[in-house]
Amino acid sequence: MTEAKREHWDAVYRTKAADSVSWYQPTPEPSLRALDALQLPVTASLIDVGGGASSLVDRLLERGWSDLTVLDIAAPALDVAKARLGDEAARIAWMIEDVTVWRPGRQYDVWHDRAVFHFLTEREQRLAYRRALETGTAPGSAVIIASFAPDGPERCSGLPVERYDAAALAREVSSAFALQRDWREEHTTPGGGRQSFQWCVFRRR
Ligand SMILES: C[S@@+](CC[C@H](N)C(=O)[O-])C[C@H]1O[C@@H](n2cnc3c(N)ncnc32)[C@H](O)[C@@H]1O
pLDDT digits 0-9 by tens, 106-157: 999 999 999 999 999 999 999 999 999 999 999 999 999 999 999 999 999 9
Take atom 3 of ligand 1 and give the residue whose Cα is closest. 115
The closest alpha carbon to 151, from 138, 141, 165, belongs to 165
Put simply, whether the predicted model's pTM sits higher than 0.85 gets the answer yes
Q: How far is the CA of 64 from the centre of ligand 1 (A)?
A: 25
Number of domains in the chain: 1
CB 127 within 8 Å of CB 117: no
150: Cβ contacts below 8 Å, ≥ 6 apart: 163, 164, 165, 196, 198
> What is the predicted pLDDT for the residue at 65?
98
Indicate the residue type of 143.
V
Residue 60 lies in a domain: yes
Take atom 6 of ligand 1 and give the residue whose Cα is closest. 51
Residue 185 lies in a domain: yes
Q: How far is the CA of 97 from the centre of ligand 1 (A)?
A: 10
Residue 53 lies in a domain: yes
Residue 175 lies in a domain: yes
> What is the predicted pLDDT for the residue at 16?
97
Take atom 13 of ligand 1 and give the residue whose Cα is closest. 50
Residue 22 lies in a domain: no
Residues with CB under 6 A from ligand 1: 5, 9, 23, 50-52, 54, 72-74, 77, 98-100, 114-116, 119, 156
> What is the predicted pLDDT for the residue at 20?
97
Residue 42 lies in a domain: no
Residue 24 lies in a domain: no
- CATH number, position 119: 3.40.50.150
Residue 77 lies in a domain: yes
- The conformation of residue 86, written as its DSSP 8-state character, comes to G
CA distance 193 to 190: 7
> What is the predicted pLDDT for the residue at 67?
98
Pairing, β 92-96 against β 67-72: parallel
Q: Which residue ranges of the chain lie beneath pLDDT 70?
A: 1
Q: Which domain holds residue 125?
A: 2-17+29-37+47-204
Indicate the residue type of 149.
A
Q: How far is the CA of 6 from the centre of ligand 1 (A)?
A: 10
